[in-house]
Structure 1
Amino acid sequence: MRSIVLTKGVPDFSEGAVSFDEDGHLERGKTPTVMNPNDAFALEAALQTRVRHGGHVSAMSMGPPGYADVLEEAMESVYADDTYLLSDRELAASDTWATAITLSAGIEKFREEVEDVDLVFAGFKTADGETGQTGPQACWAMDWPIVTHVIALDIDPDERVLRAKRLVEGDVDEIETVEAPLPCFVVTDPEFEPTYRKASHRLTHKRLRAETQERAVEHEEQLTTWDHVDLNLDPEYIGLDGSPTIVSSVDPIPKAPSERDATMIDPDDGDSMNEVLEEMQPYAAGGD
């Protein structure tokens, strides 16, 4: 079972150092970056599939060279065998459409030069764009079936069918059971939870973790970088030139105000600790 997990670096807003250029475009090379939180669920789904059915998992991202650190984090999360970074200046300032075109080209190159792919996993949405478009758009470019909002899944390798439960949000949340032929795209929902019911699955999970810890030490040896020439992409259809989205303005994100005053207590100060104990006792006893 061959899988690719798409992941992305997003600004680390907690650092308060998000940098934009004069045109309102995020300068990712100057902004602290972390792995997109929603991608963790896609990584968990790929890992569960690998534990249950074996195979090979690759993590893929598009971004500046610094995204190698994001792929290293993805490798440690999904115990990936290798990682792929799509990166050069021609890809800068891509919107979701240009990003999807680039990712689909990366997947096609992988299929042609490495091995065919059964599943592509993507996160629900990114913390910076919040559109949820890149996964479905990349799937559209591949002309594959797609299952979104997946909260549970398994594979029938003999019939080459994905069976999944997906969350349908409306007036009342409903769970829908669906099937899709392989190869296909899977977009995980934040409600996704991996399950390992068999002892053999838990042992495999433990073994993969140990192997990855050794492999991640030399992460760069498992990293392949492709630029737009490698992907045979026309610069007019990627990056800023290939992005129909227009950024009209960017508003800074204000720092959230502190809602409570904090009082520092020295644990060696007996009188102060007694005051804390007296303050907390009514609540420990069920008082208001």
Structure 2
Amino acid sequence: MRSIVLTKGVPDFSEGAVSFDEDGHLERGKTPTVMNPNDEKALQAALQTKVRHGGHVSGMSMGPPGYGEVLGEAMEEVYADDLYLLSDRELAASDTWATAITLCTGIEKYADEIGGVDLVFAGFKTADGETGQTGPQTCWGLEWPIVTHVLALDIDPDERRLRAKRLVEGDRDEIETVEAPLPCVVIADPEFSPTYRKASHRLTHKRLRAETRERAEEYEEHMTTWNQQDLNLDPEYIGLDGSPTIVSSVDPIPKAPSEREATVIEPGGEGMEELFGEMNEFAAARGD
């Protein structure tokens, strides 16, 4: 069983980490990059498949060289065997369509060199774009079946079929069970939760975690970088030139008003006695 997990780096939107310019626009160069939160569910789905059925898992991302750190985190999370970074200045400013073309080409190159792919896992959507288009568009390029909003899944290796429970959103949330032949693309729902009911699965999970710790520390030695020439991509279909999306305007993000008051107390200062008095009241309320 050979799987690829797609992941992306996004700005860290946690409080205090985001940097804005004077006009309220995001400054990516001054804002830390973290793994897209929804991709963690795709990683969990791929790991569950590896634990239950064995095989090889590769992490793949398209982005600047700094995304290598995100892939290193992915290796640690999914116990990936190796990593692939699609990185080139020619790929900059890609919208979801140009990104999907690049990822699709990377997956096909991987399959040609390694000997096929059974599953591609992707997250529901990214925290910076919120479109949820890249996974399905990549699937369209591969001409594979796709199963979205996956809550649970398992594989029948002999029949080469995937069986999954997926969330259907409508007038009310419903869950349906579907099947699809391999290879296929799996879009994990934010509510996906891996399960390891058998003792053998839990032991395998523990063994893989131990094996991966050392590998993840030296993730760069297990990472292959492909540029535009390696992928033989037509410049007209990648980057800004290959992106049909037109952004008419970008609205600044207003700074949130401060709703908290803080009192600064110097160590050993006059306010320390009052501070300890207030802390004791809370401790007494908890029975501590």
* Post-superposition offset of 1:276: 4.1
Q: Which residue of 1 aligns with 2:230?
A: 230
Contact between 1:29 and 1:64, CA under 8 Å: does it hold in 2? no
For 2:154 and 2:267, locate their aligned partners in 1 and report how far apart those are by CA, in whole Å: 51
Secondary structure of the structure 2 residue equivalent to 1:236: helix
CA contact (8 A) 1:6 1:123 kept: yes
Alignment of 1:188-207 (within 5 A): 188-207=188-207
Identity, in percent, stands at 78
Counterpart position of 1:275: 278
Structure 2 unmatched runs, 5+? none
Q: 1:265 to 1:196 in 2, by over 3 A?
A: farther
- Aligned letter for 1:175? I
With the length of structure 2 as denominator, give the TM-score of the two structures: 0.90
Which residue is equivalent to 2:62?
62
Q: Is the 8 A contact 1:11 1:18 kept in 2?
A: no
Instruction: Tell me the alpha carbon deviations over residues 226-279 of structure 1, each in whole angstroms, 9 at most, x when there is no partner.
Output: 111111110001000000001112223233333333567899956644434546
Within 5 Å, give how 1:11-90 maps onto structure 2. 11-14=11-14, 15-17=17-19, 31-90=31-90
Please state how far the C-alpha of 1:27 moved relative to its aligned partner. 7.4
Please give the alpha-carbon distance, in whole angstroms, between the structure 1 residues aligned to 2:47 and 2:257.
Answer: 39
Q: Is the 8 A contact 2:11 2:18 kept in 1?
A: no
Whole-angstrom distance in 2 between the partners of 1:169 and 1:151: 13
For 2:116 and 2:250, locate their aligned partners in 1 and report how far apart those are by CA, in whole Å.
Answer: 41
SS at match of 1:65: coil
Aligned to 1:155: 155
1:119 correspondence with 2:119: yes
RMSD after superposition: 2.4
> Aligned equivalents of 1:60 and 1:155: distance in 2?
22
Q: Could you tell me which residue of structure 1 aligns to residue 132 of structure 2?
A: 132
Find the aligned partners of 1:118 and 1:236 in 2 and give their Cα distance: 30
- Name whichever of 100-109 and 210-219 sits farther off: 210-219
**Compared CA separation, residues 51 and 144, structure 1 to 2 (3 A):** same
> Aligned letter for 1:48?
Q
Q: Is the 8 A contact 1:119 1:184 kept in 2?
A: yes
Number of positions where the alignment pairs a residue of Structure 1 with one of Structure 2 = 280
Note the 1:234-253 alignment, pairs <5 A.
234-253=234-253
Which stretch shifts more, 162-171 or 253-262?
Answer: 253-262
Q: TM-score, normalised by structure 1?
A: 0.90
